[in-house]
């Protein structure tokens, strides 16, 4: 018996490949994953994650006046691309632009934001 194979046209392959690339690029936003943390709470487990309302909504780089806020004895700041476990965040960065560069195509390494 003769086996017949279906040949794909080059335009089908190109269009299919473009669809995969487009999906990969649009599946990640340009905003990195971030957590509001108390900078004064660091232990070997990481920084304590606190409510987002304690951090300002500014997205400039860290250590700036728009991202830090002193609230009730805590030094609140956005902490980007961190590993989180048990209300603690570690292995991230306070610099937003570093987080975007590390993620590749704007993708962050873990989870969704929240507090």
The C-alpha atoms of residue 69 and residue 56 are separated, in whole angstroms, by 7
- Whether the model clears a pTM of 0.85, i.e. scores above it, the answer is no
Token code pair at residue 64:
């700036």
Other residues' Cβ atoms within 10 Å of the Cβ of residue 71: 15
pLDDT per residue rounded down to tens, the chain (115 residues): 566 676 666 655 555 665 655 555 444 557 889 999 999 999 999 999 999 999 976 544 444 443 455 656 679 999 999 999 999 999 999 999 888 776 545 454 554 445 5
Nearest residue to 90 via CA among 35, 50, 52: 35
- Give 92: exposed, middle or buried? Use CB within 10 Å, 0-12, 13-18, 19+: buried
Nearest residue to 50 via CA among 68, 80, 77, 31: 77
Every domain of the chain and the residues it spans: 34-103
Nearest residue to 48 via CA among 36, 61, 59: 36
């Amino acid at each position: 018996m003769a086996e017949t194979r279906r040949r794909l046209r080059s335009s089908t392959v190109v269009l299919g490949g473009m669809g995969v690339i487009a999906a990969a690029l649009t599946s990640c936003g340009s905003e990195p994953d971030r957590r509001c943390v108390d900078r004064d709470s660091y232990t070997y487990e990481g920084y304590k994650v606190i409510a987002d309302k304690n951090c300002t909504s500014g997205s400039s780089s860290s250590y700036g006046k728009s991202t830090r806020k002193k609230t009730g004895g805590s030094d609140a700041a956005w902490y980007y691309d961190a590993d989180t476990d048990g209300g603690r965040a570690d292995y991230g960065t306070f610099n937003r632009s570093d987080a975007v560069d590390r993620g590749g195509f704007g993708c962050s390494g873990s989870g969704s934001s929240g507090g």
